[in-house]
Structure 1
Amino acid sequence: MKLQHLLFIIPFVLISCGGTKSITNRADIRKESSKKVLKKHSNSKFNQNTLSANLKVNLKVSGKSQGMNVKLRLEKDKTIWLSGSVFGFSIAKAIITPDRVSYYVKINKTYFDGDFSVINRLLGVELDFNMLQNLLLGDALFEMKAKNYDSKIDQQAHLLTPIQGNELADLLFWIHPINYKIEKQEIRAFEKHRFLSVEYKNYSEIEETFIPGTVEIVAKDSKNNAVIQLDYKAVKLNENLSFPYKIPSGYKRIKK
């Protein structure tokens, strides 16, 4: 896949959300069992019907930078819709459902319409819709069982690490000690020299739901290094949303 495609695609598959009322008091953190931490995290998961936000996206891939504004609309468990613009001009749209990933880029008149393989290649991780949605909303990418994880305090957060090490990959989760949302999650695939880190900053409470304000994503492999910073404004929950999407005629399809 060409670098110019990466510059437009990556912001469309790595989005989270944010708001106001920054939470900073962490002085009272105490060590808790993995069972207790995971139960509280489960209770904190995103449970609203819809979310919309205006995002400022800054992307750097292999030394080349790209900035854009992105409108995000999400209907839980059903649809993720994105529309990107630069200087007020629409440049791309994308729609993701449990069985479909589709996007088109106006600048080079190309489109993709297929499965999650395009996202999996970008991130170096096998994802489905629910896992991607969790990543976007500050929830654990993978389902975790308490018996498989140790819990300790690290960087003023609850750090969960696998009890039995895996020589192919490590899954590390830092969980916020106040709202019990994910603060950072890392996937390290040693055999393929791949690394994915998603860090959530400045959590805020909107309609009794905790949402991160800034997200920083780092994706590395033996050839590429991508860093994406997302800043969110105008977050709204539980509104009636539409998801207009139609691939323009005359666009060239991008193969897998």
Structure 2
Amino acid sequence: MKNYIILLLLSFAIVSCKTATAKPEKPIAVPVANAAFFREISKKPDFDQVKISSRVDVETGAFIPTLDATIYIEDGQKVWMNMIAVFLNVGRGIATPNGIQGYEKWNKTYIESDFSYLNKMLNVDFIDFAALQNLLLGRTFIPVQEKDFSFSQSVQGYRLNSTKNIRFGSNGNQADYAVALQYSPTFDLMNVVLTDVKSSDRLEVSYSNWVNFENMRLPKNVKINIKGQKTSQIALENTKFEGSKMATPYSVPANYTKTEIK
């Protein structure tokens, strides 16, 4: 059914990767200068690839069972996903710098698109592959410049609030946003809220249960809320993580029909 293709695309936007099973460390508030903070949150994560086993719960107004997902991410190359519901394979998808492809087995349909579909699903205009990968890793996925934000810190961590409307986008599409970001005392991204000042559409992404993994700090849980004409919520719980390479087959069966998401 079409809901599974929509879920496949939406799930690309909430997958956290390469986390560990260790308990989160207790944060310690450390005063930091503005410049040091902005350098810290702009650091690129250090990883090559990761395979993730996850459980995905979705609220869209229509019934969708809890899905078991296998997600494989290669840095800068691809995000591949396979989904199963009640032991039945329901869909597969792949995102690359060139765009997104996906198919679902219930109605034998598939999609091929640039990132406009994903932007439409999230009610934003700025998601490309680079922004997508940063979002997946729990990194700041929108342009953040010190001159555009007020910066405050407390024992709870650090907070950024835009001092003016921030304009950004991709593929010639741009919009103005009011932006708020919250970070833990250890610079982990905890919450991002983007409000389109023209339409009042709102995207909120929350990260929790951050842990150490090799050279990285990454979240174990991610939740995304999309508020516009329709409201959706997706929660992801990662259950197993592996760092080895894996095959990522993707081909649409010959008898499937191309469709559009409206």
Task: Give the TM-score normalised by structure 2.
Answer: 0.88
* TM superposition shift of 1:30: 4.4
RMSD: 2.2
* TM superposition shift of 1:155: 8.0
**For the residues of structure 1 that align with 2:5 and 2:206, how far apart are their CA atoms?**
24
Q: Which residue of 196, 210, 216 corresponds with 1:189?
A: 196
Aligned residues: 251
* TM superposition shift of 1:12: 4.1
**For the residues of structure 2 that align with 1:138 and 1:249, how far apart are their CA atoms?**
37
Q: Which residue of 157, 172, 181 corresponds with 1:173?
A: 181
Q: Give the unaligned 5+ runs of structure 1.
A: none
What whole-Å deviation, never above 9, does each CA across 1:151-174 have from its counterpart, x for those lacking one? 113681211122334594212211
CA gap of 1:132–1:191, structure 2 versus 1, over 3 A, is same
Amino acid at match of 2:196: A
Q: Is the 8 A contact 1:175 1:182 kept in 2?
A: yes
Amino acid at match of 2:121: L
Residue in structure 1 matched with residue 57 of structure 2 by the alignment? 58
**For the residues of structure 2 that align with 1:101 and 1:154, how far apart are their CA atoms?**
40
**For the residues of structure 2 that align with 1:50 and 1:224, how far apart are their CA atoms?**
34
**For the residues of structure 2 that align with 1:154 and 1:2, how far apart are their CA atoms?**
45
**For the residues of structure 2 that align with 1:143 and 1:158, how far apart are their CA atoms?**
17
What does 1:235-250 correspond to in 2, within 5 Å? 235-237=241-243, 239-250=244-255
Residue in structure 2 matched with residue 140 of structure 1 by the alignment? 140
* TM superposition shift of 1:34: 3.1
* TM superposition shift of 1:29: 1.5
**For the residues of structure 2 that align with 1:186 and 1:51, how far apart are their CA atoms?**
27
* TM superposition shift of 1:7: 4.3
* TM superposition shift of 1:147: 2.5
Amino acid at match of 2:226: A
**For the residues of structure 2 that align with 1:155 and 1:105, how far apart are their CA atoms?**
47
What does 1:103-182 correspond to in 2, within 5 Å? 103-126=102-125, 127-153=127-153, 156-165=156-165, 168-178=176-186, 180-182=187-189
Residue in structure 2 matched with residue 98 of structure 1 by the alignment? 97
Percent sequence identity over matched residues?
22
**For the residues of structure 1 that align with 2:30 and 2:92, how far apart are their CA atoms?**
44
* TM superposition shift of 1:234: 1.5
Q: Give the unaligned 5+ runs of structure 2.
A: 168-175
